[in-house]
A and B are shown apart, each in its own frame.
Chain A
């Protein structure tokens, strides 16, 4: 997507659902993945008259956690405003959000490729219900109404589709690793609004801003940016004027489509929310949240690269929270060489076998397994087999059960070699080796391995054959 004549500028607003048990202002359950429509909607979520919303303290904590993960300032004083609009997904006629005094101030997200994206602010707000359009009717499910969201607003610091995607992926990892959100895109835990403008490089004024709303996958973020860049450059080249507008991403057609122009943008008539008193956090609150902060992927990325893991392996591990955390423990318990072996098992064996639903082996199991390979008790191939079956026992027990332990006992090996060398099938090779034909040695080792059903230590076997012949 190279076009030297034009440069694009991208800013992203990202909605993250917080992993609370209940909603932001009501005690209705937050997780509705298994619920029937309207099962988790309390009278508060219905916006019934006389209902009093009460702020969920856990949502405040998780928002602060996410804020710290964004390397942002946590504002000790924050408060809620009403944002009014009439639409069936919002029974009260207004959304509670934080327009003027958000809980999270300026932050910074560093991209693995080296770029930096500043966060302008992030605020707490409630989600709206879900609408389904059936024929002439629109059906309303209020299970999602009132779900706590943090909206993260970036500065316009990105300039390519790849950067936009990278930023969104970093946000997802920050949300997951901080424990603020499940950040499951499939279940709509994260949604992206992407603002894109195009101008000549170095232009003093940014181009006309177009917002593509409600994107729910990383790939779609990337594609939408690429599409908008081409579309806007096309319009500029043709000399066509275009105004600010909101567009949507059509996944089937792989293009953005106009939704409404900003000229007729909504007038939200914000006002202070009188039902929810302001939040004033104690000085020690943020320290408390910081103390409970789980290890972030940014720390792990640095740690894994430092022990010499390749970038691709590191990113693969980081994409799998459970594996990355286990890897972190392993790194703390052993040397770099062993840790690299475990990383290889995770990235090329464990993930390839798609056994992620079963329990990840413990540090003790992993280290014992690595130890057995290092000591020549298990071949590296056999170790991979054992790795996938350790849920039933210790590596040694599993290896024994599967008869994968290498025989390294000199006496037993010598006996086996003697037996094989005496076989008629070995006669020619034995003669060849005696004549200095070393290729035949490999053949003999192969025979012994076959005899041992793969359990003999090939290095030792070779030595013994040499000494015998």
Chain B
């Protein structure tokens, strides 16, 4: 199963990854092999089969509309961000 260079660039873009040429080539080969392997599933006739949303047959897992204290502060969470400015997570400009 072949993946074109163009498809690789597109996938990298969608995934927000910047890859070197070597990484690109390696990944391309890996992905091709993975797809090759998974494509065996195409032999199964899935006509009329529902997609799997649940493997434990769970349904209606809901909660009441009441605020929950998760025991973690805004400061603790913001400390996870590489950069913080004015109480907000600062990232490279996207405009």
Q: Determine whether the beta carbon of A88 is less than 8 Å from that of B65.
A: no
Say whether B62 faces chain A, with CB atoms less than 8 Å apart: yes
- Interface pair B93/A137, CB less than 8 Å apart: yes
Contact call B65/A22, Cβ cutoff below 8 A: yes
**Once the chains are docked, how many angstroms separate the CA of A36 from the CA of B93?**
22
Q: Are A55 and B61 in contact (CB under 8 A)?
A: yes
Give the chain A neighbours of B69 by CB distance below 8 A: 27
List CB contacts (< 8 Å) of B71-95 with chain A: 72, 74, 77-78, 80, 83, 85-95
The residue that B59 contacts in the complex, of A20, A60, A142, A279, with Cβ under 8 A, is A279
Asked whether B85 lies within 8 Å of A137 as measured between CB atoms, the reply is yes
Given contacts A267-B10, A277-B60, contact A22 B68 (CB under 8 A): yes
Stretch from A114-122, A128-136, A379-387, A421-429 contacting the other chain: A128-136
- Nearest Cβ on chain B to A176's Cβ, whole angstroms: 19
* Size class of the A contact interface (CB-based, 8 Å): 35 or more
- Return the CB mask of A426-442 against B: 1 if under 8 Å, else 0: 00000000000000000
- Docked Cα-Cα span, A155 to B87, in Å, equals 42
Known: A272-B53, A273-B53. A39 touches B95 (CB 8 A): no
Bound: A39/B75 CA distance, A: 9
Any chain B CB within 8 A of the CB of A86? yes
**Selected contact of A36 from candidates B58, B59, B87, CB within 8 Å:** B87
Of chain B, the residue at the smallest CB distance from A20 is B65
Q: Is the CB of B65 within 8 A of A57?
A: yes
**B16: interface (CB < 8 Å):** yes
Interface of B is mostly: loop
Q: Which of A26, A138, A266 is the one whose CB lies under 8 Å from B91?
A: A138
Q: Which residues of B contact A274 (CB under 8 A)?
A: 53-55
Decide yes or no whether A79 CB sits under 8 A from chain B. Answer: yes
Given A86-B16, A139-B90, A29–B67 Cβ distance below 8 Å?
Answer: yes
Question: Which of chain A's residues have a CB closer than 8 A to the CB of B16?
Answer: 86
> In the complex the two chains form, is B59's CB within 8 Å of A277's CB?
yes
Q: Give, as a whole number of angstroms, the nearest-CB distance from A65 to chain B.
A: 14
A56-B62, A139-B85 known; A278-B54 Cβ under 8 A: yes
The interface centre, meaning the residue of A27, A84, A141, A279 with most chain B CB atoms within 10 A of its CB, is A27
Query: Is B64 positioned at the interface, with any CB of A under 8 Å from its CB?
Result: yes
B64 and A58 within 8 A (CB): yes
B-chain residues with CB within 8 Å of residue A277 when the two chains form the complex: 53-54, 58-61
Given A57-B64, A58-B64, CB of A86 within 8 Å of CB of B70: no
In the bound complex, what is the Cα–Cα distance between A41 and B73 (angstroms)?
9
Interface of A is mostly: loop
**CB interface residues, A 85-123, toward B, < 8 Å:** 85-88, 100
Indicate whether A272 sits within 8 Å of B67 (C-beta atoms), given known contacts A88-B94, A277-B58: no
Whether B95 contacts A138 by the Cβ 8 Å rule is: yes
B79 to nearest A CB, angstroms?
12
- For A139, the chain B residues whose CB sits under 8 A away are 85-86, 88-91
Chain A 48-86 per-residue mask, 1 if CB under 8 angstroms from chain B, else 0: 100000111111100000000000000000010000111
Contact of B91 with A41 in the complex, beta carbons under 8 Å = no
The answer to the question of B46 belonging to the interface, with a C-beta cut-off of 8 Å to chain A, is no
Q: A56-B62, A267-B10 are in contact. Are A21 and B91 (CB under 8 A)?
A: no
The answer to the question of B20 belonging to the interface, with a C-beta cut-off of 8 Å to chain A, is: no
Within 8 A of B (CB), among A246-289: 266-267, 269, 272-274, 276-280
Please, how many angstroms separate the alpha-carbon atoms of A22 and B67 in the complex?
6
Q: How far is the CA of A133 from the CA of B86 in the complex (A)?
A: 12
A175 CB–B CB distance under 8 Å: no
| Bound Cα distance A266, B94 (Å) | 16
Residue numbers in A under 8 Å from B49 (CB-CB): none
Q: Are A37 and B87 in contact (CB under 8 A)?
A: yes
22 A-B contact pairs sorted by A residue (CB < 8 Å): A22-B65, A22-B66, A22-B67, A27-B67, A28-B68, A29-B67, A37-B86, A46-B77, A55-B61, A56-B62, A86-B14, A86-B15, A134-B85, A136-B92, A138-B94, A267-B10, A269-B14, A272-B52, A276-B61, A278-B54, A278-B60, A279-B59
User: Could you list which residues of chain B lie within 8 angstroms of chain A, going by C-beta atoms?
Assistant: 10, 14-16, 51-55, 58-70, 72, 74, 77-78, 80, 83, 85-95
Taking A41-B77, A54-B62, A56-B62 as known contacts, 9 extra A-B pairs with beta carbons closer than 8 A to each other, sorted by chain A number, are A21-B66, A22-B68, A43-B70, A48-B80, A132-B88, A136-B93, A140-B88, A269-B14, A272-B51
10 tightest A-B CB contacts, nearest first? A27-B68, A58-B65, A86-B16, A277-B58, A139-B88, A57-B62, A140-B89, A272-B53, A133-B95, A37-B87
